[in-house]
Structure 1
Amino acid sequence: MEKELSLLGKKTEYKQDYAPEVLETFTNKHPEMDYWVRFNCPEFTSLCPITGQPDFATIQIDYIPGIRMVESKSLKLYLFSFRNHGGFHEDCVNLIMKDLIKLMDPKYIEVTGFFTPRGGISIYPYCNYGRPDTPFAEMAKQRLINRH
């Protein structure tokens, strides 16, 4: 596993704008099992693309891995790279999900942004994906339909 990763144990370089290239994966040691992995990032920040004002959120990422899994330090650096990125809340959440799908081809993934209020309104965008032609595609549809 150590040969697959390049960020652990080295000096951390923080990218100043959106940087999906920092994401790294490692091999799932239990690909025959279906299990949840949850990441919780309570210090996510991005910028409003119109005003440039900062937006703050907790980003929650839940996924059922396939063959590859995202390495947590690279995920931290990736999420940090949004700090100077101008994107609406919904765009940031969908971009995170799409990048993670491209990176690791999970069986299932969902991403939720719990953005703090601005102007008296909180926004909680949610998106999900289930691998096509598997039971996870139906699961994604049902979880989206039944979202509260």
Structure 2
Amino acid sequence: MSGRSNEELKDVTLLGNQHTNYTFDYTPEVLEVFDNKHPNRDYFVKFNCPEFTTLCPKTMQPDFGTVYISYIPDKKMVESKSLKLYLFSFRNHGDFHEDSINIIMNDLIHVMDPRYIEVWGKFTPRGGISIDPYCNYGKSGTKFEQMAEYRMMNHDMYPEKIDNR
């Protein structure tokens, strides 16, 4: 098995860069992608981001949560350091939990055009209530469109006990 060539990685500029610029405002253009070396196979890639932070758009108080991103790539995949910087850019972004999770999914669809993707936010309670938005997408006209419908209809049928936050 051979590694990736410099030509294959020419658009991946953040990985290994010691002079990383941390942006504190929503910055979708930081997302970088690279070619999927296994486009003939369906497989999941999952990111668990336990330190996601955004701001309440009304009070400007910080909201904390875990963001789970699972996707089945097509031709492109998201580079993990760029994803980290992208998620970090929500730090001073004011949006409701539901909006933030949908924005993340929309931006990832835009840069990768995956076969399937789901994004799930599990936010720590504020005011005695937690909010856990979930969204997904399957490429239109494919088996992944039906997969998205099925997973949405069966999502969180057996929710966990909320005692670990």
User: Does TM, normalized by the shorter one, top 0.5?
Assistant: yes
Structure 1 partner of 2:67? 59
- Aligned with 1:77: secondary structure? helix
The reply on whether 1:136 has 2:116 as its aligned counterpart is no
Matches within 5 A, 1:50-129: 50-129=58-137
Cα distance, 1:62 vs structure 2: 0.2
Q: Segments of 4+ in structure 1 off by > 3 A?
A: none
Structure 1 partner of 2:160? none
- Aligned with 2:47: secondary structure? strand
Structure 1 partner of 2:37? 29
Cα distance, 1:22 vs structure 2: 0.2
- Aligned with 2:67: secondary structure? strand
**Cα shift readout 1:19-45 (whole Å, capped 9, x = no counterpart):** 000000000000010000000000000
- Give the alignment's TM-score, normalised by structure 1: 0.99
RMSD of equivalent CA atoms: 0.6
Cα distance, 1:146 vs structure 2: 0.8
CA distance in 1, matches of 2:55, 2:15: 28
- Give the alignment's TM-score, normalised by structure 2: 0.88
Percent same amino acid at aligned positions? 66
Letter in 2 for 1:136: F
Structure 1 partner of 2:15? 8
Cα distance, 1:8 vs structure 2: 1.4
Cα distance, 1:12 vs structure 2: 1.0
**1:46 corresponds to which of 54, 70, 73:** 54
CA distance in 1, matches of 2:66, 2:153: 23
- Aligned with 1:142: secondary structure? helix
CA distance in 1, matches of 2:121, 2:15: 27
CA distance in 1, matches of 2:36, 2:16: 21
Letter in 2 for 1:8: L
> Which runs of 5 or more residues in structure 1 are unaligned?
none
Cα distance, 1:2 vs structure 2: 2.6
> Which runs of 5 or more residues in structure 2 are unaligned?
1-7, 157-165
CA distance in 1, matches of 2:30, 2:76: 16
**Cα shift readout 1:74-118 (whole Å, capped 9, x = no counterpart):** 000000000000000000000000000000000000000000000
